[in-house]
Structure 1
Amino acid sequence: MILKERDTSWRKKAMELDLLLSCHLTPEHRRVVEQEKWNLQAGESAEAQVAYDLNFRFREYENWVLLHDLRLVDGNDVAQIDHLLMVRTLDFFVLETKNYARGVRISPQGEFEAYPKEGGPYPIDSPLAQNDRHILLLQRLLKRHNVIPHRMGLAQPIFHNYVMISGRGRIDRPTPDSFPNVIKGDLFYENVMRRFQKAFTFLDAVQRLPQVVRRDTLQSIGQQIASWHQPAPYPDYRKRFGISEDEIQNAGQASSCAGDHQGTGASTLRKQSKPSGDTTKAKFCFECKAPISQEEASFCFTRKDRFGGRAYCRAHQKQFP
């Protein structure tokens, strides 16, 4: 059962980055804007694939609840949970998705390094530690709002921390069996969910029976968590990258490039994203840049509300419900 679908605000961000790239940016500003766009699309691609696999597996399961793109805020603390999967036994699977160019390497001490497109690996923050912080904030909110039902003190949720690596990236571990909670996204169901479902012996089932909640209770817990979601403030890319007014002057399109980030900017972005009308020129997928057929392009352009005026290949059309 899906209680919260994926956030689609990334499309507006991609549109604005495209508008900035159409302006007279300095070489350095163009580089950072292009890098931001690549990061946005890479992260979106990884999350979209994991979300598609999870939706395919759990959409019809009434004993499971699935939420995507949760942004939880508690004071100055923020947790951006990519995917949250819950079952009636009060097992919470908190999933963090990562898309590294060629994968990651993990040291025996749990230190992470990412493989770039070129060159050697470089150190990165541990995504497991990042996800642990997300779990701590979620636990804090669950306790504060008294969401979990208590039956003689036996109902204690169990949290599982998993990092999902893009299927195209490798995972180098200290030993084959170490860090089993860092896994390829497309193998999550096969390697984790089936093992989890088979792990319950009769004794395990009897011991955990007191904390198994009803389906409507599980749905209520998921709905309360979804209600805590707070969308992120829309980024001001001009301010973030220090782009000057002179740079955005481009053939009289200063207002289009500028964007006011206060409401009218969104309207401008929508106008700028409309296709020219000659859809025969749309021959490449906006996501992966692969050549596409005229039929694929026309399918997208005739559904502007769904695809935002962009053309996508059939594989990436699945990102848009």
Structure 2
Amino acid sequence: MLIKTADDKQRRLKLLEELQASPLLDRQQRQWLQDEAMRCQRGQQGERDAAHYIDHWKKDSEQHAVLHDLRFVVDGETAQIDHMVINRALHFYLFETKCFSGDVQINEQGEWTVSYPRGGRYGVPSPLEQSRRHERILDKLLTKLDITGRGGLKPSFHHVVLLHPKATIERPDEKRFDTRDVIKADMIQRWHEQYIESVGVVEVFGKLLNWHGTDTLREWAEKLARQHRPVNPLELPDFIKPRAAMATPSVGAAKSVALAPAVSAGPPAAESKTEDVASHPLYRKLVCATCQGKISYPEGKFCWNQEKRFGGLQYCREHQAGIG
């Protein structure tokens, strides 16, 4: 049964595209908007493709509840789950969708690397570990909502990473690091069949003890759907907000300032450029100014030593390639 579909992301994409057309953008703002639009488009397409395969697999099943695009906030912590399937034995399948534009390699330590066609090989955070962090927050939410199994049996969680059907995956020896839960999105049904085949008699018996009715499953899934806390699609970081708004406009200029788009009033003068960049919330921090992911000190130093190219900010290797 399909309980929740993905949120509509078109309003945010439209905003990002319209702001890019503004003549009032400086270079850093324009680059951020371009990268953010690309991330949104790629992520939305990947999640849409994965949802297609998941819906084909279980949306018509009365034994399973399907929910897409969930964002929970529990005790100040946030979990964003791309897709979730729940069965009547209180088994939660958490699917993390990744739409990399390069080839994926996973080593024996479970570390992920992506190689891109135009060159460049970069480490990325493990989606499996990301999903496991979501599990901890989801488990707290289930306790708060009193979603529990029979006889005190706890829910069980299964983590799966979905990649594009055309992705290339280089895997380690399964005896050193098991990657059976990293699959191409079109292999979901086969993956689940293999999982069922691998389950022992003890676990099957436990599932029967924890079996619930279809109405209970729907009630739980709808209760979780009501806990979804979507992000504001029009929200932008402080870096994109108009600096002119911080100054008090003249009476004659008040109307034009109020109608100005949420971007800077134009490229800063040479004398104030350093001061403006220094006011950026990510200035001289080991965080990529585009994707806001953590970077190494050598990556940051490389950018800081090329201030003319990177504007005094820092970027990961992937996003350095798109600047200059």
Same fold by TM-score, threshold 0.5 exceeded? yes
Report Cα offsets for 1:115-169 as digits up to 9, x if no partner: 2342221111111111111011111111232211433x3x332100111112232
Q: What secondary structure does 2:96 align onto? A: strand
Match of 2:34 in 1: 34
Kept in 2, the 8 Å contact 1:103–1:171? The answer is: yes
Q: In 1, distance between residues paired with 2:145 and 2:121?
A: 43
Of the structure 1 ranges 139-148 and 61-70, higher mean CA displacement relative to structure 2 is found in 139-148
Work out whether 1:168 is the aligned partner of 2:166: yes
Q: Residue 258 and residue 138 in structure 1: after superposition, are their counterparts in 2 closer, same or farther (change >3 A)?
A: same
Describe the superposition over 1:260-317 as per-residue Cα deviations: whole angstroms up to 9, x where unpaired: xxxxxxxxxxxxxxxxxxxxxxxxxxxxxxxxxxxxxxxxxxxxxxxxxxxxxxxxxx
Distance in 2 (CA, whole Å) between partners of 1:174 and 1:196 is: 20
Moved more, 61-70 or 178-187: 178-187
Provide closer, same or farther for how the CA distance between residues 217 and 56 of structure 1 changes in structure 2, counting only shifts above 3 A. Answer: same
C-alpha contact (below 8 Å) 1:156/1:211 kept by paired residues:
no
Kindly provide the amino acid, as one letter, of the partner of residue 218 in structure 1.
L
Report how far residue 242 of structure 1 moved: 5.6
Give, as a single letter, the amino acid of the residue that structure 2 aligns with 1:147: I
Q: What are the within-5 Å matches in structure 2 for residues 280-299 of structure 1?
A: none
Which residue of the partner structure matches residue 295 of structure 1? Answer: none
Q: Percent identity?
A: 27
1:199 positional shift: 4.5
> What is the number of residues matched between the two proteins?
250
Structure 1, 111-120 or 136-145: larger mean CA deviation? 111-120
Q: 3-state DSSP class of the match of 1:237?
A: coil
Cα distance in 1, alignment partners of residues 196 and 257 from structure 2: 57
Residues 196/89 of structure 1: CA separation in 2 closer, same or farther (3 Å cut) = farther
Q: CA deviation at 1:55?
A: 1.3
**TM-score normalised by the chain length of structure 1:** 0.71
State which of 156, 159, 173 in structure 2 corresponds to 1:158. 156
- 1: distance between equivalents of 2:198 and 2:11? 43
TM-score normalised to structure 2 length? 0.70
Q: 1:263 corresponds to which residue?
A: none
Residues 183-212 of structure 1, C-alpha deviations (whole Å, 9 max, x = no match): 11121222x122234456766544431111
In structure 1, the partner of 2:47 is: 47
Paired residues of 1:165 and 1:185 also in contact (CA < 8 A): yes
| Partner Cα distance (1:221, 1:88) in 2 | 10
* In 2: Cα distance, 1:241 partner to 1:88 partner: 46
The amino acid across from 2:32 in the alignment is V
- The 1-side partners of 2:238 and 2:107 are apart by 38
Name which one, 1 or 2, has greater alpha-carbon Rg: 2
Tell me: CA distance 1:198–1:121, structure 2 relative to 1, closer, same or farther (3 Å).
Answer: same
One-letter amino acid of the structure 1 residue matched with residue 209 of structure 2: P
* 1:69-108 matched pairs, under 5 angstroms: 69-108=69-108
CA contact (8 A) 1:19 1:256 kept: no
Take 2:64 and 2:30, find their aligned partners in 1: how far apart are those partners? 45
Aligned alpha-carbon RMSD (Å): 2.5
